[in-house]
Amino acid sequence: MADVSKLIPGQKVLLQGNEAIARGALEAGVALAAAYPGNPSSEILQTLADSAHSAGIYVEWSTNEKVALESAAAASYAGLRGMASMKQNGVNVAQDFICNLTISGTQGGIVLVTCDDPSGVSSTNEEDARFIARVACLPLLEPATPAECLSMMKLAFELSEQIGNLVVLRGLARLSHTRAGVVPGPLPESKRRPRWDPSQRWFTIPVVPRHQAMLDKLAKAGEIMGAAGVNYYDGPQRPELLVVASGSSRLYADEARRMLEAGERVGILHLGATWPLDQELILEHLARADKILFAEEVDPHLEGGVKSIYAQHVRELGIKDFFGQDTGHKPPVGELSPSRVAAALADILGLPWQEVDPAYQEKAQVAQALVAPRQVGFCPGCPHRASYWSMKQVLAADGREGIVSGDIGCYTLGVLPTGYQRVNAVHCMGSGPGIASGLGKLRDQGFGQPVISVVGDSTFFHAALPALVNARWNNSDYVLVVLDNSATAMTGFQPHPGTGATAMGQAGTVVDVEQVCAGLGLPYAVVDPYDLEATQEALYDALQIGGGLRVLIFRRLCALVQNKQGGHPWSISVDPELCRGEDCGCHRFCTRVFRCPGLVFDEATGKATVDEVVCVGCGVCAQICPAGAIKARPKEATA
Amino acid sequence: MKALKYDPLDIVVTGVGGQGNVLASQVLGRALLDAGYQVTVGETYGLSQRGGSVMSQVRVSSGPVLGPMMPDHRATAIISLEPLEALRLVGTYGHPGVVVLTNDRPLRPQGVLAGEQAYPEPQELRATLEGLCAKLYWLPATAAALKLGNHILANVVLLGALCALDLLPIGAEQVEAALAAMFPEDKMAPNREALAKGLALVREV
Amino acid sequence: MVLPAAPFAPQPTGLERLLAEVINPGLCVACGACLGLCPHLIFLDGQVAAPDPCGLTSGRCWDLCPVAQRGGPGAAQGPIGPVLGAWQGRATARDLEGRAQYGGVVSELLALALEQALVQEAVVTAAGPRGAPQGLRVSGRSGVLGAAGSIYAGGGALGELNRALAEDACHPLAVVGLPCQIQALGAMRAHPDYPQTLERIHLVIGLFCTMNLPWRGVRDLLARHGVQAPLSRADFPPPPAGIFQVWSGGAYHELPLDQVRAISYPGCAGCADLTSEGADLSVGACEGKPGWNTILARTHAGAGLLELAAGKGLLELEPAQPASLEHLNQAAIAKRKRAAAWSEERRHG
């Protein structure tokens, strides 16, 4: 990412939503920023890391989101400004701390940024993390554009400091990854000196009075946000329909109104501050129209909140018609789009709405029969393909219906054909070893199936450790396979404890997976997943031992990182004389079963070939060819 | 500032993860922003590097700020680094007036490589696309890029080709300036060649 | 109403059916005939597995499988098959003592065939480095001695034969196998897509088969009795001993026969062949004469090799005792009856 501390104030630049959040934090004088990588939030901290030296701040990839927010709270208690950014899942990880922090309160400004992922484009769920604002009684801001990302970050820090509590800013995947014009402001000229006044104590008891204080802070936050101009109305004095919207949905509603040429009939209440809801403002605008539509992603947060306010004031407001999730005008799942909002507007206003000529639509739909789905898969040369290949072979040879408990990372794709669908369960960070730990304790009740838990090297440190200690303690019987590709590859190759590098590019201390295993008293071995025979032998043996937790570390650098570091050593080719093609004795084993995208089956010749644009030269396929037709030769020799 | 021929001007840039799709849309967005237009570039790259479909939307207007997602069936142009991806998005964003500009080099989806699904014959794919747009540019962008020494330049070749159409309010020199702002000077020679090659490809058609 | 005739759909004769009828029901006896032909069938730690469907509806894996191809009546020549001459004998060389089974005849004959260059390599079954039996190619006396002795567990040795036959080579081969493996060899020689088997297999030595065991079952049984694998030797002494004798790391152990029977291959129950009727020579224990083998010469090639060995003084040979042969006949008849009853039972559910 770019060093956004170098942007020139007043000069408009194209910034990604996540970069604008980072710039906003710098302009607000953030002193400590921490995060655990998770798309769509990852670029926020990466941008801050790349700006850290010139901005003179501390930026950290933490082991997990809870630790990240705790670090940010430390800055707050030292009188500085701190922030933690995460994807929606991270909010769950941090929730225990959040729900106590909100009672103890904070000193320096502290902001939690959550980047939600409606439709789950790069997530295991599409959770709406706005719940945390209601649960923990925290002020919530929802920007709609990169420019608002910047300005609302500054507001969030100010607000946090004024009320003495955490403030939540909610981004969305589309916004995080949108680039638009942003005009940066100035950076602060002076820095605060960190000091924790020893007379200051931050804790949560007695709970009831502190709970009351927390609610008072929230009410105060509502007043401040109301005055900040982040909520506004845009439309005619007496619209037929009022759209109450937040986030990207505000823009979708605006565009839908334009497409339908319904500017005279539709007003939009833009809500940038969505918790607490500004009751006065909402009552004022509800009075404008008799029909109200909600546009938001994913949960009916505004819909529920506004209806609740309405219920208290129904006598003065009279009968209204509400449209939203409850009436099917806002989908309960997945993200919104301008077309979806337009369809809702058209339906409510009784307007004709046709996206495109039906004859064209039909022709285009028929043509889609030609379009094969493009399922995601492991990259060419990915060590995970080799690892899952070995797991598949060994579990079949073992023959006891072995179970693979999966986890979060690139290797989650093991549930798909690219990983031979060899993963039986995936939930959240660290859940794999926990489930395995439980399975491994069912032996006495007759559970005879072998159990493998796969975790990536970054996940190992994030959330796997407590489950491993649990398994060690209780003597649970399973094999932990650490898929160590020395990178947090799924989210953009961030460093982690096992790599020893830090977010700011300095050398940290390597926290070694082997040493952790040794410290826990776990037997472990390291194998190279590219060496299929050795890997399969080690895994088979590990499965036969039984009796407790044992660890295999499958270590091989991420293929994408390897590509950047000079590439793989082999030049791969197929000898057509030896290739058995579709005959008995092979039947497209490499392309149909192994499924590396670098291998192509040439229908014309009936032989496999190598796609030189795709193949990276890892050489694994040469080990699986039954005819020895796939040749791996050193690259130099062929160059 | 030149008036937009289409307002909003909505360009979909698509392809397969790793083809340089996001970079192409960033270059275009930057060039248009520098020329004074209201620009929103929406990027979708959840699992982009893992062989999935990738799409960016470059949205340009002279007035209101636009959201990151364009309405269905309203694209001005679809630029695709892979021909099947062009057809995929025509299904969502196409209409009889859309202009399609696509690389002709197929990248077969995993299911096709595994023999589970079919990839259409090039002639069939081309004819189908032609029947669903106002004008199709079927260009050998990867072949041209390979001649310049690196298949990854196909994205810049297509940007050059886009500049040869009468859609953008800016010219190739402004796109080149945006590239120059993002690449070190020693990497610019092949990029300039790729832009020029793209322009030439369209003029040959 | 006349229903249209159902379209003709021949039953598949490939991996899918092999899985459905042999491997998944647990009837595989690990002969190895399906191994080494393609990457879809693998063999690890004494067990055959197929991780992925191969996608073809026919294949040699099915055609060659002795369990799949079973079901016809036994050979017409009587309960122990064709016999040119029946002998009892033992090797005179002392280097075989304590290693080879009974009289050491198989090892001596193989070593001789290799020395005389009648064959260049022999495919045998031997314990691998971690105890599991596996196919092995040997090419001289020391190799034969290293592989001598039986551990009575399926080792997939024919997979090694298939690999040898797939090589770009033409040297003659010998095979030592159990009746199931000798049956599979017959199917290989008759298979239209496998011409090299006829050309290259010059010597087939079959073993009498009393019981064949799955290696993993043996290993677990040994573990239950505190015996460390690998075994150097194993033996079933004749009734009424009721034990299975094993030697491991110089120590001798006895395991109860009923526990061994309980783990034996279910797929063996349908086998009607006690004496490897399709071999050139069949060799087994000599009833009533410990330390000696019974030898059946079935072909002229087999008889010739036996004659050569006797002529060179490598084997001490006597004509088989009628009582011993009668005992063998009775045992073979009993095995046929058991197989017929088993097949009948399966047919009726």
Chain B residues 15-34 with CB within 8 Å of chain A: 16-17, 26, 29-30, 33
pLDDT at position A87 is 97
Amino acid letter for position A506: Q
Q: Give the chain A residue nearest B16 (alpha carbons).
A: A374
Low-confidence ranges of chain C (pLDDT < 50): none
CB of A530 within 8 A of CB of A382?
no
Name the segment(s) of chain A with CATH classification 3.40.50.970.
Answer: 4-187+205-227, 383-562
Asked whether residue A290 carries a pLDDT value surpassing 90, the answer given is: yes
Dump pLDDT digits (tens) for A47-60: 999 999 999 999 99
Fold topology of A4-187+205-227:
Rossmann fold (3.40.50)
Dump pLDDT digits (tens) for A146-186: 999 999 999 999 999 999 999 999 999 999 999 999 999 99
pLDDT at position A639 is 43
Structure tokens at B136: 């199709």
Spell out which residues of chain A touch residue B26, defining contact as CB-CB under 8 Å: 14, 179
Residue among B33, B70, B120 whose CB faces A370 most closely = B120
* DSSP helix/strand/coil, B41: strand
Name the segment(s) of chain A with CATH classification 3.30.70.20.
Answer: 570-638
CB of A289 within 8 A of CB of A265?
no
CB of C112 within 8 A of CB of C305?
yes
A560 contact B CB<8A = yes
ipTM: 0.96
pLDDT at position B46 is 60
Label residues A136-153 b or e (16+ Cβ within 10 Å = b).
bbbbbbbbbbbbbbbbbb
Q: Give the chain C residue nearest A401 (alpha carbons).
A: C51
Spell out which residues of chain B touch residue A173, defining contact as CB-CB under 8 Å: 46
Spell out which residues of chain C touch residue A420, defining contact as CB-CB under 8 Å: 52
Phi/psi for A459 (5° steps) reads: -60, -35
Lowest mean pLDDT among A105-109, A287-291, C148-152, C311-315: C148-152
Select the residue from A11, A43, A178 to test the B interface by mutation, using most B Cβ atoms within 10 A.
Answer: A178
d(CA B140, CA B123): 14
C40 contact A CB<8A = yes
Dump pLDDT digits (tens) for C273-294: 999 999 999 999 888 888 899 9
- Arithmetic mean of pLDDT, A450-454: 98
Phi/psi for B121 (5° steps) reads: -65, 145
pLDDT at position C241 is 83
Asked whether residue A537 carries a pLDDT value surpassing 60, the answer given is: yes
* DSSP helix/strand/coil, B23: helix
Contacts 24+ apart (CB under 8 A), B145-151: B145/B194, B148/B190, B148/B193, B148/B194, B148/B197, B149/B190, B150/B190, B151/A613
Using the beta-carbon criterion (under 8 Å), do A397 and C45 form an inter-chain contact?
yes
Fold topology of B9-204:
Pyruvate-ferredoxin Oxidoreductase; domain 3 (3.40.920)
d(CA C156, CA C151): 13
Asked whether residue A96 carries a pLDDT value surpassing 50, the answer given is: yes
What one-character DSSP code corresponds to residue A418? G
Which chains share 3+ C-beta pairs under 8 angstroms with B?
Answer: A
A584 contact C CB<8A = yes
Using the beta-carbon criterion (under 8 Å), do A595 and B107 form an inter-chain contact?
no
Using the beta-carbon criterion (under 8 Å), do C51 and A393 form an inter-chain contact?
yes
For A324, A344, C212, the CA distances from A352, given in Å and listed in that order, are: 20, 11, 79
Asked whether residue A428 carries a pLDDT value surpassing 90, the answer given is: yes
- Arithmetic mean of pLDDT, A411-417: 94
pLDDT at position A190 is 94
Q: Are strands A231-234 and A266-271 parallel, antiparallel or unpaired?
A: antiparallel
What one-character DSSP code corresponds to residue C22? I
Select the residue from A577, A584, A623 to test the C interface by mutation, using most C Cβ atoms within 10 A.
Answer: A584
C51 contact A CB<8A = yes
Using the beta-carbon criterion (under 8 Å), do A394 and C193 form an inter-chain contact?
no
**A383-562 sits in which CATH class?**
alpha beta
Q: Give the chain C residue nearest A627 (alpha carbons).
A: C38
Using the beta-carbon criterion (under 8 Å), do A180 and B120 form an inter-chain contact?
no
d(CA B68, CA B57): 7
C258 contact A CB<8A = no
pLDDT at position A486 is 87
Dump pLDDT digits (tens) for A564-581: 898 999 999 999 999 999
Using the beta-carbon criterion (under 8 Å), do A399 and C50 form an inter-chain contact?
no
Among candidate residues A568, A639, A572, the one with its CA nearest the CA of residue A611: A572
Phi/psi for A264 (5° steps) reads: -80, -15
d(CA C279, CA C302): 8
pLDDT at position C152 is 76
Spell out which residues of chain C touch residue A533, defining contact as CB-CB under 8 Å: none
Q: Give the chain C residue nearest A584 (alpha carbons).
A: C59
Q: Residue B63 region, left (φ>0) first, then alpha (ψ -120 to 50), else beta? A: alpha
Using the beta-carbon criterion (under 8 Å), do A589 and C37 form an inter-chain contact?
no
A121 contact B CB<8A = yes
What one-character DSSP code corresponds to residue B15? E
d(CA B137, CA B161): 9
Using the beta-carbon criterion (under 8 Å), do B69 and A370 form an inter-chain contact?
no
B85 contact A CB<8A = yes
Residue among B68, B109, B117 whose CB faces A175 most closely = B68
Using the beta-carbon criterion (under 8 Å), do B128 and A252 form an inter-chain contact?
no
pLDDT at position A214 is 96
CATH of region A570-638: 3.30.70.20
Name the segment(s) of chain A with CATH classification 3.40.50.920.
Answer: 231-349
d(CA B66, CA B60): 8
Count Cβ atoms below 10 Å from residue B195 Cβ, excluding itself: 26
Low-confidence ranges of chain B (pLDDT < 70): 45-50
A592 contact C CB<8A = yes
A547 contact C CB<8A = no
* DSSP helix/strand/coil, B40: strand
d(CA B90, CA A367): 9
**A231-349 sits in which CATH class?**
alpha beta
Using the beta-carbon criterion (under 8 Å), do B71 and A339 form an inter-chain contact?
yes
